[in-house]
């Protein structure tokens, strides 16, 4: 098997929510594989700072939860700069609270951020990909697509939705030459998990619960992303790839 199957030279990749954490790590990894990077977020200053880590990266500032802003930004970029060949739907948030006391506004915001953004950005980019007969869409799911923990039931609902929306994207768009898949990270050291990382009791539980015995490092998600973004995955569609140190396969 030729290593060129994983070469992204000449491809352009948009990663939503990529000013920090998993999104920025994936952007760096795709850049190292040869892709031209488009960073996205709502804070222009943070994006411009992050762009320095990804070569000559573009910065595309828009709110992924706002459909009009999403479509305008994507259409303008395609018209003025060129094709978006790869989309990584990474934008997301977390809010922890007991389900019986979970704030309604936090629930609605989480649904918009974690689910609606995948739909809006996915649709906007796919409309251009379909015309070209090719494209890669990678959604960021979670171990919570399959498992639940106390205090994060709404987050679990959103990530279950992302996994099933991925399957729906593949079902509708595979015939147009698109591959639509998801990466489901386990517990990784990210700003989103800062409170858990700082909790010795939780880290102790996680180390015992995970067969690999540790937190994941964001760089360990890069290989899965390159695979799903590259020609190597040309017949992979609707798949949810768990990168979780074995936590979903072990009791």
Active site residues: 155
By DSSP bridging, strand 36-41 and strand 12-15 are: parallel
Q: Which residues have C-beta within 8 Å of that of residue 80, sequence separation ≥ 6? A: none
| Residue 17 contacts residue 40 (beta carbons within 8 Å) | yes
| Residue 94 contacts residue 192 (beta carbons within 8 Å) | yes
| Residue 79 contacts residue 59 (beta carbons within 8 Å) | no
How far is residue 243's CA from residue 223's CA, in Å, rounded to a whole number?
10
Taking each helix axis from N to C terminus, what angle separates 21-32 and 222-229, rounded to the nearest 10 degrees?
A: 60
């Amino acid at each position: 098997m030729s290593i060129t199957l994983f070469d992204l030279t000449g491809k352009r990749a948009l990663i939503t929510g990529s000013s920090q954490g998993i999104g920025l790590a994936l952007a760096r990894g795709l850049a190292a594989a040869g892709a031209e990077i488009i960073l996205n977020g709502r804070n222009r200053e943070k994006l411009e700072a992050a762009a320095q880590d990804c070569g000559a990266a573009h910065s595309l500032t828009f709110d992924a939860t706002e459909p009009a802003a999403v479509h305008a930004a994507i259409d303008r970029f395609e018209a003025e700069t060129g094709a978006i060949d790869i989309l990584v739907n990474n934008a997301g948030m977390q809010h922890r609270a007991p389900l019986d006391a979970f704030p309604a506004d936090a629930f609605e915001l989480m649904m918009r951020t974690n689910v609606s953004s995948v739909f809006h950005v996915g649709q906007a980019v796919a409309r251009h990909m379909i015309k070209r007969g090719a494209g890669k869409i990678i959604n960021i799911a979670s171990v919570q697509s399959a498992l639940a923990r106390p205090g994060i039931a709404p987050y679990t609902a959103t990530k279950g939705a992302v996994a099933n929306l991925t399957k729906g994207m593949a079902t509708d768009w595979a015939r147009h030459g698109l591959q639509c898949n998801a990466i489901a990270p386990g517990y990784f050291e990210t700003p989103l998990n800062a409170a858990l990382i700082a909790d010795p009791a939780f880290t102790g539980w996680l180390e015992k619960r995970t067969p690999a015995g540790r937190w994941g490092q964001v760089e360990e998600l890069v290989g899965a992303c390159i695979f799903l973004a590259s020609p190597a995955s040309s017949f992979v569609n609707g798949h949810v790839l768990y990168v979780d140190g074995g936590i979903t396969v072990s009791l």
